[in-house]
């Protein structure tokens, strides 16, 4: 049985109301919400340039189904880039099998990603986005391998893979 985000939010909201917690306190600050990016496009431009799955993930913060991305099985040497702007995000050297069903990395390339706190499922998580276009990539969790101990759990639909286009990380 799967629970939709709406059902999860509704149940989380009911618990919050019952316990006297308000979601207003959990909303991002105006400073956090007002971030601008070097690459900006209108919604119409994004819809034209991205396929439906890429648009849903990158521009609407959707999450693909676990195990659905061909990038899970990608083991060649190369670079993972943003599907929206081709910003270089992750090296294949930093990819590992997390068992989660999403492409996972223990670190991004330098200055490739940004982060913010999201509350989409009723509690705070650290969202990872492209530093150049702001596209939603996934989330980072503190349960990854050494040396960082982080798991950058990314949506394959948010990325493209460039074979043998490795940069020094």
Q: Which member of 85, 130, 133, 153 is catalytic?
A: 153
Instruction: Write the CB contacts of 113 (distance below 8 Å, at least 6 apart in sequence).
Output: 89, 128, 129, 130, 131, 137, 152
> Is 153 a catalytic site residue?
yes
136-141 and 125-130 as β-strands: parallel, antiparallel, unpaired? antiparallel
Enzyme catalytic residues:
153
């Amino acid at each position: 049985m799967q629970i939709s985000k709406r059902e999860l939010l509704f149940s989380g909201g009911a618990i919050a109301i019952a316990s006297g917690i308000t979601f207003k306190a959990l909303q991002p600050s105006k400073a956090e919400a007002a971030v601008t990016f070097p690459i900006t496009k209108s919604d119409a431009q994004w819809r034209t340039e991205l396929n439906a799955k890429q648009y849903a993930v990158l521009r609407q913060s959707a999450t693909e189904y676990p195990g659905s991305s061909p990038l899970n099985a990608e083991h060649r040497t190369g670079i993972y880039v943003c599907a929206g702007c081709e910003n270089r995000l992750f090296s294949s050297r930093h990819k590992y099998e997390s068992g989660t069903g999403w492409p996972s990395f223990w670190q991004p390339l330098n200055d490739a990603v940004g982060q913010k706190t999201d509350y989409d499922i009723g509690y705070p998580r650290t969202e990872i986005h492209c530093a150049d276009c702001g596209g939603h990539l996934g989330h980072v969790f503190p349960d990854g391998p050494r040396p960082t101990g982080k798991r950058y759990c990314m949506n394959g639909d948010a990325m493209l893979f460039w074979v043998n286009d490795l940069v020094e990380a």
